[in-house]
A and B are shown apart, each in its own frame.
Chain A
Amino acid sequence: MKKKKRLATASLAGCFGCHMSLLDMDERLLEVLEHVEFDRSPLMDFKGFRQRCDIGLIEGGCCNEDNVHVLRQFRENCDVLVAIGQCAIMGGLPVMRNAIMHADDPLRECLEEAYNESPRVLNPGNHIPNDPALPLLLDKVYTCSEVVHIDFQIPGCPPSGDTLYQVLMALATGKKPEFSYGMIKYD
C-alpha cells in the first residue's frame, strides 16, 4: 500500500470556521483519509508534531506571540504550507485593529476600546486581562505570509468543503491545487 501523506492543521487568529469547513467535506473525509493521515491538529488534539509532515494547513493570521511560534513550527515541520481562508491570507476580521496604526500607542488604544471605552462594555474595575499565561499581543496583526513563506493561499471565508477537498486531494497526489473559477469566487 502506498504511504499516506502526513497532514497537520492549526487555527491561529481565526474563528475555527475553516476547520468547520474541513468537516463540511462530509463523507468525503473518509476518502481523504485513505490518502492522508493526521498529525498535529485540533481534530486529533496532538499538541506537538509527532513527525515531519508533508502538508500543513493554517487557518488565521498572527495576532500574538503564540501564533508566531506555532506558525514557525509549522514552517519548520511541513514540506508544503497552505494558508486557508481570509484571516490567514489577508488578516480577516482581526486585522481591523491595524486601522488604529496612526495612534501613538495603538495596542493600548485597541485594548482600551475593547475593554473599557466601548459603550456596551460593563467593566467596573477597568480591568484589562493580563494573566501571565496569556500570550503577548503583537503590535499589529500579521498575515501568515508576512511571517513565514507560504506555498499556497486558498481564499474564502471560509473556503468551502468542496474547495478544501480538492486542495487536499491534489496535494495528497502530488499535484498543484487548481480550481474552477466558481470555486474560489465569493460574492
Chain B
Amino acid sequence: MDNTDSVAVKEACARFDFDPKRLLDILWQVQDVNRCVDANALTDIAQATGLPRVSVDGVASFYHFYSSRPKGRFAIYLCDDIVDRQHGFNDLLAVLRDELGIAPGQITADGLFSVDLTPCIGLCDQPPGLLVNQYIAGSLTPAKLRRLLQDLKKDSHPGSSFTQGGEGQNGNSLIQTRLKNNIRRRGAILGSGQLTESGLQNASELSSFEILETLRASGLRGRGGAGYPVWQKLDTAFRQITADKVVICNADEGEPGTFKDRVLLTEQPDLVFEGMTIAARATGASQGILYLRAEYRYLEAWLEERLAQRRAEGLLGSHICGTEGFNFDIRIQRGAGAYICGEESALIRSCEGGRGEPTSRPPYPAIQGYKGLPTTVNNVETFCCIARIFEIGATAFARLGTPQSTGTKLFSVSGDCRKPGVYEFPFGLTVRELLNHCQADDAAAVVVGGPSGQIIGRNEFDRRLCFEDLATAGAFVVFNSTRNILEIVRAYIQFFVDESCGYCTPCRVGNVFLLERMDKIIAGKGETTDIDYLRQLADTIIETSRCGLGHTSPRPILSTLANFPLVYAALLKAPNAGSQPGFDIQKALDEARHLAHRGSTLYDRDYSGGVS
C-alpha cells in the first residue's frame, strides 16, 4: 500500500474516534477514498480500533459495497432485479460492454470504470436503473447511458441531464437526481398537503401512557411486513428501566419491488422524523438512528439537511417543543449493501458496526437491542403513520381500512402495468382493484409483498390486501401473460441464495439446493419426485432457519406450486424405467474419454476396446 492509502485509513479512523461501533462508517470512508478496503487497510483499521483483524475482515467481506479489490473511479452498479431484467437490462449491459469493454465484475484498464450487478435498488417503477458512486438513475435507455458514460469520461461528472430535473424534491440540489416519484394516489399519509408538525406538537403535551393509549386505540400495526402492533413494541421498551433507550427507523428497503420508503424519504422526511420523535417521547429514548440502505445514499445530504433544520427549529435536540426533559436526536447510519439488515436484529448489529447477522431471540430488541439498550425498530412508513395519528386522531385513523388492519397502506406497484408508482389506499382493497388502478390489462401473476411474500395468479385476484388476508409490506409486482413464471421464481431464489447471511445451514445450503432443483426443472429434466423434494426441502428450511429470511425464502416456490401447478406440470418428464432424467451418462463420460484416449465398452455402441 502506498502512503496515501494509509493516510486515508488513519483519517477515517480518527474521524469516527477509533470507535469499533462505527466500523461501517470507517469502512465506507476508506472504500470511498481508496476505492477498496484491501488487506493492508484491514490490518490498519484493526490496529486503530483495537478490533481483531479477523473481525474487521468479517465485517468488510459481509457487505456488498465494500470491495477487497479496487473499484473504478466511477463504480457502476447495474440493478439486476427481475423487473429491470424484463425492461431493458440487457441493452444496458450491452452498452457497458460496448463503451467500456468490460463485463460485470471487471474494471477498465485505466481504472476509470468498474461494472457490477446489484439486487433491487428501489427503482422498479422506473426501470432499468443503476448506481454510479453516490448518484442514481432510472428509466435508462441505451442512448441515455451512452451519454452518461461520455459525460463521466469528459467532465468527471454525470452531467445535468442525469442529476437535474427530478420530480418534486428529486430535483433538489441536495438530492441531484432525475428520478420521478410516481405518486399515483394519496391518502392519509401522503395526502395532507403541507405538514403542520401538529402531530409532534400534540404528542409533546401527552404523557407516555397517553401516547401509547392513542396508538393502541388507532390499531396501528407495523408496516414492514410482520404487522406487529406498534403500541406493544413501544410499550415493552417503555417498561424497561434503563438509563437510555433507542428508536431506530428501518430504511433498509431491500425487498425487491419495494420503493415506497424511497418516496417517503424524498417527499416526507419530516413526517418520518416526527414519527420517530413521538416514538421516542413514548418510550423515553434519547437516541435515534435512521438506518439508510446504501442504495439510497443519494438522499443522505438531503436528510442531514432536514435533521439540521429540525434541530434549529427545536424539533430535535434538547427540550423538544419547549417540553422540559424531552431530549432526542437522530443520526443516520448508512448500510453497505445487505438485504438481511432489514431484519431488525441484524440491523441493530449493523448499527453497532458488526456483520448483519440476525441474533437469537429472546432477548427481543425492545428489551435489549442497540448497545444493550431497549430499542424499538420500525419501518419508515410506520413512523409516518404514527405522526399522522397524532395529527388526525386515533379514531379517524382506525376508521380507515379493515378491523384488523387499520389505516392506509402505501403500495409499490411495478412491472407490467401502464401506471407504476406509489398508491396509497386504505387496507382491504382487492388485488383486482389495484390492478385496475395501475392499468395492468394483461396481469397473469402478481408478486404481493416481494419474493418473501406470495406469487398469486388470476384465481386469487379477488383476495384483499390486508393482514387478515394477503399481508404485504407493499411490493406489488405485476407480470403479464408473456412472462415465464419459473424464471421469476428462479431469480428470486437466486436473490435469497446471494443474500443469505450464511450463519445457519438450512438457509445457506437449503436455498442453493432449491435453486439447483429449479434449474433442473427449468431445463426440462425434472419429474414429479422433484416437486416432492422441493416441498420437503422448503418445509425444512422454513422450520429450521434462524431468522425471517429462511422462514420466507422458499415462498416463491411454494406459492407458485400452489397457484401455478400447470406451469410446473408442463415441464415435468414421465419417469423412465427408474432412471433419473437429469443424469446424462454420455456427458459424464466425455472428460474421461478425452483423458484416457479410449471409448467406453459399456456406453459406446461401436467401440471394441482399442485405444484410439
Contacts and interface: CB of A to CB of B under 8 A. Distances in A.
Interface of A: 65-66, 68-69, 72, 75-76, 81, 105-108, 111, 130, 132, 135-140, 142, 145-149
B588 interface: yes
Contacts of B1: none
Nearest to B577: A76
A81 B578 CA distance: 10
B585 interface: yes
A105 B600 CA distance: 19
Nearest to A134: B596
Contacts of B583: 142, 146-147
- Going nearest first, the 5 A-B pairs with the smallest beta carbon separation are A75-B578, A136-B592, A138-B588, A137-B592, A107-B591
Contact of A65 (B582, B585, B611): B585
A132 B598 contact: yes
A68 B579 CA distance: 10
Interface string B599-612: 01111000001110
A149 B575 contact: yes
A183 B600 CA distance: 41
A148 to B, nearest CB: 5
Contacts of B601: 132
A142 B596 CA distance: 20
Interface residues of B, number: 27
Contacts of A138: 588-589, 592
A151 to B, nearest CB: 10
Interface of B: 529, 575, 577-580, 582-583, 585, 587-593, 595-598, 600-603, 609-611
Nearest to A66: B602
B529, B582, B602: most-surrounded residue (chain A CB, <10 A)? B602
Given A65-B600, A66-B602, A142-B583, A136 B578 contact: no
A111 B575 contact: no
B595 A107 contact: yes
A69 B602 contact: yes
A105 B592 CA distance: 10
A106 B588 CA distance: 12
A139 B578 contact: no
B588 A139 contact: yes
B493 to A, nearest CB: 20
22 contacts: A65-B602, A68-B585, A69-B602, A72-B579, A81-B578, A106-B591, A107-B595, A130-B596, A132-B611, A135-B602, A136-B592, A136-B593, A136-B600, A137-B592, A139-B591, A142-B588, A145-B580, A146-B580, A146-B583, A147-B580, A148-B579, A148-B580
B579, B609, B611: most-surrounded residue (chain A CB, <10 A):
B579
A107 B592 contact: yes
A75 B588 CA distance: 19
A152 B610 CA distance: 40
A112 to B, nearest CB: 10
A105 B591 contact: yes
A72 B602 CA distance: 12
Given A68-B585, A68-B588, 19 more contacts: A66-B602, A68-B602, A75-B577, A75-B578, A130-B598, A132-B601, A132-B610, A136-B592, A136-B593, A136-B598, A136-B600, A139-B587, A139-B590, A142-B588, A146-B580, A147-B579, A148-B579, A149-B529, A149-B578
B602 A108 contact: no
Contacts of A72: 578-579
B418 to A, nearest CB: 45
B573 to A, nearest CB: 12
